[in-house]
């Protein structure tokens, strides 16, 4: 680390710009992601807050054919489940459908159909304390995931986090050798994007924020 705290060779970007443009990207070039780039992103993950500074996390970089053989079918099963049980629509939009929903669906479908070809995956695992429930325990692992996503954005990488590994979790745990006492929080697909980073689309602050009481707007003038 230099005097600025920045790793040698690391690019820089305004934090707000990184957050504003770190949208999920699902199409990746086949180029490998260098270990030194991943290491910088993973170091950023370790800077996240952790309850009692326990740091009960483990990050597993996945590239092996054995892992890919598990994740591809798992993600296709997850996609089928989401289409059938959650959204209730056809998994493949019509060729002449140019709607926003169809465009998003096509990017999802491209990822699912090519998941074995993602350059690298990062598995974020957490060892529970047993003191609180899973929902509260998540506060000590998902900030690390977010730090990783932001660092990857600064590096120019594309990322997309998912929980569809759950459709093949038993096999994944066996291949990776994850102890039974550890839980998987997220799997992040990582690679150099074919597309471009761009602004995320989110509800205005005034729509999602209250002041003091649940129904009292924090920004009453914001539409």
Domain map of the chain by residue range?
32-196
Classify domain 32-196 at the CATH topology level. NADH Oxidase (3.40.109)
The full length of the chain comes to 223
Q: What is the pLDDT of residues 121-156, one digit of tens each?
A: 999 999 998 888 888 889 999 999 999 999 999 999
The pLDDT of residue 102 is 77
Q: What is the pLDDT of residues 78-126, one digit of tens each?
A: 999 988 888 776 667 777 777 877 788 888 899 999 999 999 999 999 9
Say if pTM beats, i.e. exceeds, 0.85.
yes
């Amino acid at each position: 680390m230099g005097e600025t705290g920045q790793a040698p060779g690391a690019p820089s970007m305004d934090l707000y710009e990184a957050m504003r443009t770190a949208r999920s990207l699902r199409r990746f070039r086949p180029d490998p992601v260098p270990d030194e780039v991943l290491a910088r992103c993973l170091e950023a993950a370790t800077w996240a807050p952790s309850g009692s500074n326990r740091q009960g996390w483990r990050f597993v970089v996945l590239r092996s054919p054995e892992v890919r053989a598990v994740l591809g079918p798992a993600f296709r099963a997850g996609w089928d489940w989401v289409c059938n049980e959650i959204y209730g629509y056809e998994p493949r939009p019509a060729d002449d459908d140019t709607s926003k929903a169809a465009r998003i669906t096509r990017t999802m479908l491209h990822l699912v159909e090519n998941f074995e070809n993602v350059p690298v995956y990062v598995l974020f695992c957490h060892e529970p304390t047993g003191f609180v429930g899973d929902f509260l325990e998540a506060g000590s692992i998902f900030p690390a995931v977010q730090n990783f996503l932001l660092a990857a954005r600064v590096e120019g990488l594309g990322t997309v986090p998912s929980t569809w590994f759950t459709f093949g979790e038993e096999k994944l745990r066996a291949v990776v050798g994850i102890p039974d006492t550890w839980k998987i929080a997220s799997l992040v697909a990582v690679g150099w994007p074919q597309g471009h980073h761009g602004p995320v689309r989110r509800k205005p602050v005034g729509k999602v924020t209250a002041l003091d009481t649940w129904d009292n707007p924090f920004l009453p003038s914001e539409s």
